[in-house]
């Protein structure tokens, strides 16, 4: 009978724990991080995006401005 794999994992280094989430990094580069975090906070509190329409719209408008800047 084959032995199962090990059940331990190595502890994460401080560098690995502090590594920025790729989605957070992408949103930060757009300049819409504040709107993104407001939406995330609302979603965590309300647990239903339908109750966070003001935040959804603010984030959408910010992202639209970033994708189609006016001269």
pLDDT digit of tens for each residue in the chain (71 aa)? 555 555 555 566 555 556 778 988 888 899 999 999 999 999 999 999 899 999 999 999 999 998 887 76
Q: From CA 49, how far away is CA 46, in angstroms rounded?
A: 8
Helices (H), 1-71: 14-17, 22-30, 33-46, 53-67
Query: Rounded to two decimals, what is the model's pTM?
Result: 0.64
Running DSSP on this structure, what letter comes out for residue 52? G
Q: Which of 36, 6, 8, 11 minimizes the C-alpha distance to 21?
A: 36
Task: Please compute, for residue 55, the number of CA atoms within 13 A of its CA located in the half-sphere on the CB side.
Answer: 19
């Amino acid at each position: 009978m084959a032995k199962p794999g090990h059940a331990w994992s190595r502890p994460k280094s401080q560098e690995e724990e502090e590594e920025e989430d790729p989605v957070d990094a992408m949103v930060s580069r757009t300049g819409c991080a504040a709107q993104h975090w407001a939406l995330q906070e609302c979603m965590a509190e309300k647990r239903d995006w339908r109750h966070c329409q003001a935040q959804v719209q603010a984030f959408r408008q910010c992202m639209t401005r970033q994708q189609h800047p006016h001269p």
